[in-house]
Structure 1
Amino acid sequence: MRFSDLSIYLQKLEKTASRNEITQILAELFKKSTVEEIDKICYLVLGQLAPNYRSIVFNLAERMMLQVIAKAYGRDIEKVKEIYKKVGDLGNISQKLSRSYEGSVFSVTEVYNHLLEMAQDEGQGSQERKIEKMADLLSKLNPLSSRFVSRIPVGKLRLGFSDKTIIDALSWMETGNKSKSGVLEKAYQVIPDVGLLAQKVRKSGIDQAVKNMKPEVGVPILPMLAQRIKSTKEMIEKMGLVFVEPKFDGLRVLIHFKRGGQDDFVKAFTRNLNDIREMFPELTDIGKYIDAKSVILDSEAVGMDPEMLKLADFQTTMRRRRKYDIAQKAKDIPLRFQVFDIILKDDKNLMDIAYSKRREILADTIKPNNLLVIDEKILTDDPAVINKEYRERIAQNLEGVIVKKADAYYVPGRTGWRWVKMKEEESASGKLTDTIDCVVMGFTVGKGKRAVFGLGQFLVGVKDGDKFKTLTKVGTGLSDEEFKKFRKQMEEYKVKDKPKEYEAEKIYTPDFWIDAKFVVELAGDDLTKSPTHASGFGLRFPRLVGFRNDKAPEQATTLKELQKLFQMQKM
């Protein structure tokens, strides 16, 4: 397929707001693609070059892309900057300045390979080489192609859909509906690579493509997540015999290990599929604690406060994610990994084995040590036992308990009544029974002292399909220093117009919109029905609990979960 033809589809997608129409446009596009190029098309329409977990990034800031555009079209850099201030979009500038119509000769694969080569260029002088190569590519593309290609290096393609829509489109391509989206999504949860999945579907059809999809060491799996139920009596009614385990305020980490020759293979993935292995030097020698050739372990990384001889809070633990002074941070904030599940052992898939059996396998796999610590557990079908265990864990300054169905399989995502979290009791505090993870959609500059920071309140929303819908504005919970820091972080993601995946009434229009990048954890007194917020709900007295850098926007609280929370507070 020629890249100019792909650009026509990108333009259609950009102009379309309907999720169903987007799905059908993608299905038509996929039908016209070959097996060899469909994976590349999937990545490109998402504004990427690879699945998220491979972390292939350009490291080209917008100011550098302005240099690229000036060089590509022989324009003065100051003039380009001036246009950018008015237009606010790199794609619009490129399309406006482009005069070349030779782009039709480039195939999708050729453009993709050019971009991949640039992204992987490292070392001394790499930035200059990237600018040179990117300018050369843009100068040879037609105006419409340059519109979309110039946005990709800075992560601002913004077509308003996610991997989930591509999964629906693959089903539509074969069946003319979304009837096979479920089986495709199950396969994607095990190997979260839409490009690879699309290639398999294009080659042999959906039924064959999803066969034998199993976890692999080195490829992150989407983690299993807990539901919410307010009553312990209801927990037992829905789940029967359960394990009750402590809930730690840590960072969810899936540890991948494979025994090698001289060096063992070790990876550590967060719940949003980022590889943060380099931030955990402790994991280098974990082979001595593992009685297996290969494992995938599910765990919670919990920081320790050496001075207070107790567990650190989440924000302290998250300081370990810094990219610099890692060795010093490891000394300042030592970690232990609370291991509670095993997904693979010796290359055998354990996902379809009962949790009680997986716990037995886990106990046989991890040798006693102080780094990989297996969670304590109680097996019960008595609501009173759950309540007692919960109160004891709260007294220990833990978050509460996780209640797990004893015979549950490992099912990625938040489905069914397999895991349930029990945190703050509403009866004890009169507050909302759980926190809400929201996406920051925009911000106001503030008045008075806040005007100095350039940040008064930020607008947040919850996820509903591929959309983010407003819930509340937040202006409390941050220190002055944190306000300044967050304002600086948001600057890079400011956009001129409201992103097409956002739903917000005009009265909530912020001074600046930002791309969906930041997830924050909010507490509040209660949820209320709202006729003005796009989610249909408002949050009374919202307070920022912390930044959830371990979560992607796609993992924010969903509207369906919000509706459950609303129902629970009335019980």
Structure 2
Amino acid sequence: MEVGKLAKYLNQLEETRSRLKITEILAQLLRETREKDVDKVSYLLLGVLAPQYKGVVFNLAERMMINVLAKAYDQQPETIVKQYKELGDIGLVAQQYAHAKRSKMLVSELYDELLLIAKYEGEGSVERKIDRLAKLISQLDPLSVHFIARIPLGKLRLGFSDKTIIEALSWMETGDKSLRSDIEEAYNIRPDIGYVASLVKKYGAKQLSTKVTPQIGTPIVPMLAQRLKSPEDMIQKMGEVSIEPKFDGLRVVIHYQRGKPTKAFSRNMNEISDMFPELQKLDQQLDAKEVILDSEAIGFDPKTKRLFDFQMTMQRRRKHNIDQTSREIPLTFQVFDLLYKDGESTLQDEYFVRRKKLEDTVNPGKPLQIDESTVTSDPEVIRLKHLEYLKKGLEGVIVKKNNSQYVSGRTGWRWVKMKEIEDARGKLVDTVDCVIMGYTSGKGKRTSFGIGQFLVGVRKNDKFLTVSKVGTGLTDTQFRELAKRLRKLTTKQKPKEYEVHKDLEPDYWVFPEVVVELAADEITVSPKHTAGLALRFPRLIGFRDDKSPREATTLAEFNHLAKLALS
């Protein structure tokens, strides 16, 4: 496929707001794409060159991309800067100057060149990236460069995600979404949209279950807990359960292979191995050649042994002075599940079977510990355990259905959590993870911060619907940090994923990247917030840098939370 043809599809996608129509366009594109190119096309549709966990990024700042365009089109950087300030889109700026005729370059050639440029490292790598990218850009026609120029800055943003491509792959085969669950199940085990698209193209969606298995070094989309308010509801929906403590820590999935460096992944599938040097010394604790473990990392005070909260534990994610930080904030990894061992997937095993394999595999010590577990069918036991863990400074209980499989995401009543205390976190039974969509200029004291309130929303498929404006719960330092982060994400145009009432439009729009945890007193009906409901008296608990926008609270979860508050 030629780049020019791909660009025409990208143009259709950018101009389309209907999710169904976007899916149909994607299905047609994928249908026309050859098997050997479908992985590359799938990546480029999302403006990336590889799955997130591989960490392939350009690391080019806007000023560098301005130099690329200046070099490509023989312009002064100041001229490009002026145009960029006026248009607010590097793709539109490039389109103004592009003079090449229809691009006959192949998509495979474009992808290979972009990947080569992105992987430049070492002394002089920035200059080499600029030179080679300028040469590439100069060969593209106006429509093609409009989209390709955005990719090095991570700003292609056509208003859909990998989930939409998954649905489009089903449409490609059957003309409907009937195969979506088969494809999504494979993607959850191997979250690489290019790899999965290639398999669908080659074998068909129905064959994925025989082709996709867990692999050491490739993250698995983690399983998440639903919310239920009462132990009686839990037993009614789940039957016999295992009760385990809920820690306020950082989700870490550990990939161990004897004789090789241990890898660790966050819940949003970023590799974070370098931040946990203690995970490189697990040979004595693991009775396995290779294993994938699900865990929660919790920091503790080395003097008092008191557990730290999430925000303190998150300091271990700093990229500098790791050895010093690991001494100041030592970690224990509370292991609670086993997903793979010595060539065998355990995802389809029932929970009590996985638990037995976990206990047979992990020798508790430093840094790995196994969560304690209580098996019961009695609601009163859940209630007592919940209170016991709260008194110990934990977050209550996680309750797990004993005969449930490991299913990625937050689906069904397999794992549930119960949070019902009223404290500084608010009166809701749980907090809400929202995406920041925009912000207003500050007034009074906040003028110096550059931000007054920020608009937040929950997720509905690939859309974000508003639920509140937030201006409380932040320290001066947090206001300044937030302003700094949001300025880098500001865009002149409202992102097409956003549904916002005109009366709630902020002074500045931002791309959906920052996730915040909010508490509130209650959820009320709202005629203006596009979710149909709104948070009352919202306040910031913290930034959830461990979560991506696709892990934000969904509209369905938000509605469920509102019902729990009324029950």
Query: What TM-score, normalized to structure 2?
Result: 0.98
Please state how far the C-alpha of 1:426 moved relative to its aligned partner.
Answer: 5.9
Q: Residue in 2 aligned with 1:393? A: 389
Separation (CA, whole Å) in 2 of partners of 1:201 and 1:24: 17
Q: Which amino acid aligns with 1:524?
A: A
Residue 130 of structure 1 aligns to which amino acid in structure 2?
Answer: K
Identity %: 53
Instruction: Give the equivalent residue in structure 2 for 1:404.
Output: 400
- The CA deviation at 1:347 is 1.4
Q: Tell me, yes or no, if the aligned pair for 1:399 and 1:424 is still in contact at 8 Å.
A: no
Greater shift after overlay, 152-161 or 306-315? 306-315
Task: Quote the Cα distance in structure 2 between the aligned partners of 1:430 and 1:50.
Answer: 40
| Aligned positions of 1:414-429 closer than 5 A | 414-425=410-421
The Cα shift of 1:309 comes to 2.5
Deviation string, structure 1 residues 413-453 (Cα, Å, up to 9, x no partner): 11111000112346999710000000011111210000101
Match of 1:514 in 2: 510
Q: CA separation in 1, counterparts of 2:337 and 2:329? A: 24
Match of 2:113 in 1: 114
TM-fit CA distance, 1:212: 3.8
Secondary structure of residue in 1 paired with 2:140: coil
Q: Distance in 2 between matches of 1:387 and 1:367?
A: 30
Q: Look up the match of 1:205.
A: 204
Query: Using the alignment, how far apart are the partners of 1:148 and 1:110 within structure 2?
Result: 16
| Paired residues for 1:31-430 under 5 Å | 31-101=31-101, 103-260=102-259, 264-425=260-421
Matched, 1:543 2:547: no
Indicate if the aligned counterparts of 1:72 and 1:138 stay in contact, CA closer than 8 A: yes
Deviates more, 1:483-492 or 1:164-173: 483-492
In 2, Cα distance between equivalents of 1:23 and 1:325? 46
- Partner Cα separation in structure 2 for residue 476 and residue 308 of structure 1: 33
> How many Å separate the matches in 2 of 1:424 and 1:315?
21
- Helix, strand or coil: the match of 1:434? coil
**Contact persistence 1:222–1:271 (CA under 8 A):** yes
| Structure 1 residue 70: Cα displacement | 1.0
How far apart, in 2, do the equivalents of 1:464 and 1:401 lie? 28
Distance 1:405 1:265 in 2: 34
Residue of 470, 474, 477 corresponding to 1:478: 474
Cα deviation for residue 380 of structure 1 reads 0.7
CA deviation map 1:132-180 (0-9, x unaligned): 1111101011011111111001110010000110011100011011111
**Gaps spanning 5+ residues in structure 1: where?**
none
- Matches of 1:460 and 1:427 in 2, distance apart? 22
What displacement does 1:368 show? 2.7
Letter in 1 for 2:28: E
Deviations for 1:188-227, whole angstroms, at most 9, x for unmatched residues? 1111111111111111221123424221111100001000
1:563 counterpart SS class: helix
One-letter amino acid matched to 2:502: K
Contact 2:294 2:339 in 1 (8 A): yes
What's the counterpart of residue 5 of structure 1?
A: 5
After superposition, the Cα gap between the structure-2 partners of 1:358 and 1:209, relative to the gap in structure 1 and judged at 3 Å, is: closer
Residue 434 (structure 1) aligns with: 430
Deviation at 1:477, TM superposition (A): 1.5
> What SS class does the counterpart of residue 359 from structure 1 fall into?
helix
CA shift at 1:485, angstroms? 1.5
Secondary structure at the aligned position of 1:58 is classed as: coil
Contact 1:400 1:424 in 2 (8 A): no
Equivalent AA in structure 2 for residue 165 of structure 1: T
Letter in 1 for 2:518: L
Distance 1:146 1:540 in 2: 45
* Corresponding residue number in structure 1 for 2:564: 568
Does the 8 A contact of 2:399 with 2:417 survive in 1?
yes
Q: Which runs of 4+ in 1 moved over 4 A?
A: 426-430
SS of the aligned residue for 1:93 comes to: helix
AA partner of residue 44 (structure 1): L
Alpha-carbon distance, 1:62 to partner: 1.1
Change (3 A) 1:136 1:428: closer
Shift of 1:307: 4.1
Q: Which amino acid aligns with 2:53?
A: Y
Matched AA of 1:69: L
What letter corresponds to residue 217 of structure 1 in structure 2?
I
Deviates more, 1:428-437 or 1:461-470: 428-437
Where 1:286 maps in the other structure, the secondary structure is: coil
SS of the equivalent of 1:473 reads strand
Residue identity opposite 2:513 in structure 1: K
Letter in 2 for 1:193: D
State how far apart, in whole Å, the 1-side matches of 2:366 and 2:321 are.
23
User: Matches of 1:7 and 1:209 in 2, distance apart?
Assistant: 30
Specify the SS of the correspondent of 2:210. Answer: coil
Cα distance between partner residues in 2 of 1:481 and 1:420: 35
Which of 426, 449, 453 aligns to 2:449? It is 453
CA distance in 2, matches of 1:140, 1:153: 16
Aligned residue identity for 2:350: A
- In structure 2, the residue corresponding to 1:199 is in which secondary structure? helix
User: What are structure 2's unaligned runs of at least 5 residues?
Assistant: none
Q: Are the counterparts in 1 of residues 425 and 519 from structure 2 also a CA contact under 8 Å?
A: no
